[in-house]
Amino acid sequence: MKNLTKLYREEVKISSIPLLLTILTSGAAEGFMLGIVLAAAHAGRNEELSSIYMLIFMAAFSTFFLGKRYFLILVSAEFEKCVQNIRLRIADKIRKSELIYLEDMGIGDIFTQVTKNTETISQFALQIGIGLQSFVVLLCAMVYIAMLSIAAFFLIILILTLAAWLYLLHEKTFSQYMDDTLKKDSIFCDMLYDSLKGFKELKINQRKSQDHFRELMDLSDETEELRVKTQVELAFEMIFSEAAFFSLLGMVVFAMPLVGMHGEAIVKVVAGILFVIGPVGMLVGSIPSLSRMDISLAAVYDLEKRLDQASTYEPEMKLSEPIRSFEEIRFENILFQYEGEDQLFTMGPMDFSIYKGETLFIVGGNGSGKSTLLKLLTGLYYPKIGRIAIDGIPVERETYPAYRGLFTTIFSDFHLFNRLYGVASTDYAKADELLTLMQLDRKTKIVDGAFTNINLSTGQRKRLAMLVSLLDNKPICVFDEWAADQDPSFRQYFYDTLLKDIKAEGKTIIAVTHDDRYFGYADRVLKMEMGKFVE
């Protein structure tokens, strides 16, 4: 349970003293009620004594109820705070990470780890709190039994110790099955995600659909088998705990008379054992929850470790002042390679410049390196060799955020947010004008900085992304095959009007395109093949 220990040591901020005092007080009150009930039953018809016991019982009950309620609320609130802190911390580390590492890790895997595992932590936190409370009740009951009979106390301790030892041995098998099941579940979720994202491809190709679903069924069968094994082990644990209690009762009833314990004393000990059946059941039931939480925490902490390795040299992530103007951006001896056992692609070395106010087209076939080049240009990738200089001043790791501030981008795999994030003061008149210009005014509106609708066609979403890009008002506009999904009229508008208007504002345009009929609209056209520029 080292991960739970780490969670408590590093994440929990409240003092342990109030928790311990509340657990001890409410647990002792719950255990004390056992003695009061038995004493009241022994008092019989003595009304005066019964009234005193009733008042004491009510006081103990109130202490137990209020203390347990306070403790469980405190534990639930603190664990929820821990979960939210972990989620926010991971979200912060994600934004500080380098793109290339996130691509290697897999977006779907990160999403699953953050959502599913943190939900597991939140889900079972309350059960752990109940388990801790039940442990205190068990201790109080054992003190009561020790007061009745030392022999019975040691017999019960012996049987419970043996049962706990056997239970923990079995728990290793249960935890392994649980871990394997969670991993299979994660893979199943990834495949189901593929089914949704690749719906069109699977719908068109029946053979592909059948192969994919067959693999999904095989995975489902494997998961089902693991789940059954897990449930069988869990059922064994439940049966084992009941068997341990009945064995304990049998030993007390049949063995204790052999050592001189008789009559009323045996009845009280048996009553004490019956009293703790519920708390011990809760304590035993919390152990699988501990295992699940520990496994989930291990996955979350492993994700954090990988994100730390993927982080940039910008740990504070300070809001740096973006660069507003430049005359020349020089790329000197730039070389980039994808890391891995097999170097599948190398870009460069290359030397070239980008000048203020120019329109630059980048062309080339699929796999020529255009997308990689854009990520290098915009500072999303760092070159392995070489440097970038702005007006002769090198761009260092700590100044990369400011360098990225030069660009507004629409990548081929762009994401459209439903709000205008990062736009300090939205010019709604201009936004409405652009909506009309992009023929989107009947499709969506901007209300309180958010779009009323982004469920649009690909071409319309790209036009909406163009609106956002223009509102960003950055010195360099990067467009990756923006016109590819537009109808002929908008394609013509993009090259004939929009690019000229952007250029007239003194902005630099870098556009990846295959539209050779419009190459004449560019100041320069750079062609790429195999990660290099060619004539």
> What pLDDT shows up at residue 108?
66
Please spell the DSSP secondary structure of 171-203, one letter per residue.
Answer: HHHHHHHHHHHHHHHHHHHHHHHHHHHTHHHHH
- Which stretch of DSSP H or E encloses residue 531? none
Give the residue from 59, 186, 37, 220 showing the smallest Cα distance to 117: 186
CA distance 523 to 186: 50
Higher per-residue confidence, 533 vs 119: 533
pLDDT of 4 strictly over 60: yes
> What pLDDT shows up at residue 44?
63
pLDDT of 361 strictly over 90: yes
CA distance 86 to 75: 16
> What pLDDT shows up at residue 509?
94
What pLDDT band is residue 45 in, cutting at 50, 70 and 90?
low
> What pLDDT shows up at residue 330?
93
CA distance 405 to 324: 8
What is the chain's Cα-based Rg?
34
Packing angle between helix 118-148 and helix 150-197, nearest 10 degrees? 170
Structural domains of the chain in order of their starting residue, each with its CATH number: 2-309 (1.20.1560.10), 328-534 (3.40.50.300)
pLDDT of 189 strictly over 70: yes
Strands 385-390 and 328-337: antiparallel
Higher per-residue confidence, 332 vs 279: 332
- Non-local (6+) Cβ contacts of 79 within 8 A are 121, 122, 125, 126
Q: Nearest-5° angle of CA 474, CA 480, CA 486?
A: 105
Of 112-126, 304-318, 425-439, where does the model show the most confidence? 425-439
Contact criterion met (CB below 8 Å) for 163 and 240: yes
List pLDDT tens digits, range 224-258.
888 888 778 777 777 777 777 778 778 778 877 77
Higher per-residue confidence, 11 vs 403: 403
CA distance 74 to 181: 31
Please spell the DSSP secondary structure of 10-30, one letter per residue.
Answer: HT--S-HHHHHHHHHHHHHHH
The residue-averaged pLDDT of 417-426 equals 74
Give me 337's structure tokens: 């390679």
> What pLDDT shows up at residue 499?
92
- Which stretch of DSSP H or E encloses residue 374? helix 370-377
- Check: pTM over 0.85? Answer yes or no: no
The residue-averaged pLDDT of 106-111 equals 72
Higher per-residue confidence, 275 vs 319: 275
Distance between start and end Cα atoms, the chain: 62
The residue-averaged pLDDT of 165-174 equals 73
Q: Nearest-5° angle of CA 9, CA 12, CA 16?
A: 85
> What pLDDT shows up at residue 286?
72
Give me 504's structure tokens: 């007239």
> What pLDDT shows up at residue 354?
92
Contact criterion met (CB below 8 Å) for 470 and 509: no
Q: Which of 204-208, 326-330, 416-420 has the lowest mean pLDDT?
A: 204-208
The residue-averaged pLDDT of 218-222 equals 85
Of 212-216, 272-276, 358-362, where does the model show the most confidence? 358-362
Scanning 47-106, the segments in alpha helix (DSSP H) are: 47-96, 99-105
The residue-averaged pLDDT of 176-200 equals 78
pLDDT of 125 strictly over 80: no
Q: Which of 1-15, 85-99, 451-465 has the lowest mean pLDDT?
A: 1-15
Higher per-residue confidence, 12 vs 52: 52
Higher per-residue confidence, 217 vs 425: 217
> What pLDDT shows up at residue 317?
45
CA distance 170 to 177: 11
Give me 413's structure tokens: 């795999």
Longest dimension (CA), the chain: 109
Contact criterion met (CB below 8 Å) for 321 and 402: yes
Q: Which of 54-63, 173-182, 311-320, 374-383 has the lowest mean pLDDT?
A: 311-320
Higher per-residue confidence, 507 vs 186: 507
Q: Which of 130-134, 349-353, 484-488, 505-509 has the lowest mean pLDDT?
A: 130-134
Q: DSSP letter for 520, please.
A: G
Percent of the chain with pLDDT over 90: 11
List pLDDT tens digits, range 155-165.
888 887 887 77
> What pLDDT shows up at residue 343?
56
> How far is residue 334 CA from its own chain's centroid?
36
pLDDT of 521 strictly over 50: yes
164: left (phi over 0), alpha (psi -120 to 50) or beta: alpha
CA distance 101 to 306: 9
List pLDDT tens digits, range 46-101.
677 778 888 888 888 888 888 888 877 877 777 788 888 888 888 888 887 778 77
CA distance 241 to 164: 9
What pLDDT band is residue 360 in, cutting at 50, 70 and 90?
very high
What pLDDT band is residue 425 in, cutting at 50, 70 and 90?
low
List pLDDT tens digits, range 131-167.
777 777 778 778 877 887 788 888 888 887 887 777 7
pLDDT of 355 strictly over 90: yes
Of 164-178, 302-316, 328-342, 387-401, where does the model show the most confidence? 387-401
How far lies 307's CA from each of 71, 91, 314, 339, 516, in Å? 35, 10, 13, 16, 42
- Given CA atoms 95, 373, 405, 481 in this order, what sign does their dihedral have? negative
| Averaged pLDDT of the chain | 80
**Bridge partners, 355 (sequence order):** 328
The residue-averaged pLDDT of 209-221 equals 85
Q: Could you give the strand order of the β-sheet that contains 346-355, starting from the edge strand earlier in sequence?
A: 346-355, 328-337, 385-390, 393-394
